[in-house]
A = this chain, B = another copy of it.
Amino acid sequence: MTGQNKKIYSLASIANEIGATLVGDPDFVIVGLCSLPKASPDRLSFLSNSAYKHYLKSTTAGAVIVTKDDQLLFSGNKLLTENPYLAYALASRLFVDLSEVPSGIHSSAIIDSSASLAKGVLIGPNVVIEENVVIGQRCQIGAGAVIGAGAQLGDECSISENVVINKDVTLGNRVTIHSGAVIGADGFGYAFDGEKSIKIYQLGSVRVGNDVEIGAQTTIDRGALDDTVICDGVKIDNQVQIGHNCHIGNHTIICGCVGLAGSVTLGAYCVMGGGSGAVGHITLADYVQVSAMSLVSQSISEAGRYSAGTVQMKTGEWKRASMRFKELDSMAKRLKRLERTRS
């Protein structure tokens, strides 16, 4: 339980911060958060997954966030709320080290004289900021990050170590980009001349909205003609690849290792499960959820959950089933024939 920065709160103050109703000792001291099974008496836990309900009897947590309906299952201090998971998210902010970084520009940073840096920025060691870059207020740029010519960052962006933001990329306010991500590399486009691939120069850029989070090592390519667009509130995990001219709708969630080919349009409030993918030039409606490692190869016009693939089997059984998959069309025809001969 490292990293919780030795912050201390009374239970009453936490209840107040997260908008929960306190049942128990208002002066009870909480030093951090914990899960129900790995708890300690000076920490606050929560029940959001009903499969964990039985832990409420045995947990050693000093206090627990629960719903009214579940409050009788735990005898200690409680914080009551309709959505314990959301309350936990709000509480997590109290225990993280967010505020104390002073602004300043490290002496090793290399900043073009034409760049414009607003007040309160923190620029780390070895950062490179090229010509005509605009950096908004209170942005933080981690060590080794490179901000390409003409890029524009809104206010309060947090760019981690060794991130590369290529030229002319624009970020809204409160955009967080984790280490090693590359925003605005060339899209992957070639025309074949009969012998070799001729590069299609990528003339668009990338536009990222407000309150977007982008994971470590994720790549978002610049557009071929128009821009690649990431709308407000989108959250993207690590190792994701977003091809040129994709358009990701508001508040969509893209889990780790997802790959989107070029010109994919995702609606708002979609969820792409880990390792899932989409072929180029297709459109998904709002509120579409794609299961882990499923490929979407056709547009989806109706909200809902979609899956592809097969489930895990012991490899011996799987081999037999997958060999039969090859015969599946023949099996279907033979079944049809048998049905006909019956009638």
Contacts and interface: CB of A to CB of B under 8 A. Distances in A.
Given A237-B188, A317-B329, A326-B321, A201 B93 contact: yes
A35 interface: yes
Interface string A36-48: 0010000000000
Interface string A287-301: 000111111111010
A251 B329 contact: no
A173 interface: no
A122 B270 CA distance: 43
A325 B326 CA distance: 10
Interface string A183-223: 00110111111011111111111000001010111010110
A332 B322 contact: no
A10 interface: no
A304 B293 contact: no
Contacts of A166: 179
B197 A179 contact: no
A30 interface: no
A92 to B, nearest CB: 4
A202 B35 CA distance: 13
Interface stretch (A1-9, A20-28, A72-80, A132-140): A1-9
Contacts of A339: 334, 338
B3 A168 contact: yes
A288 B293 CA distance: 20
Nearest to A311: B322
A239 interface: yes
Contacts of A204: 1-3
A253 B341 CA distance: 50
16 contacts: A92-B224, A110-B143, A128-B144, A180-B180, A188-B256, A217-B219, A273-B279, A295-B309, A296-B312, A305-B315, A308-B309, A309-B322, A320-B329, A321-B328, A334-B335, A338-B339
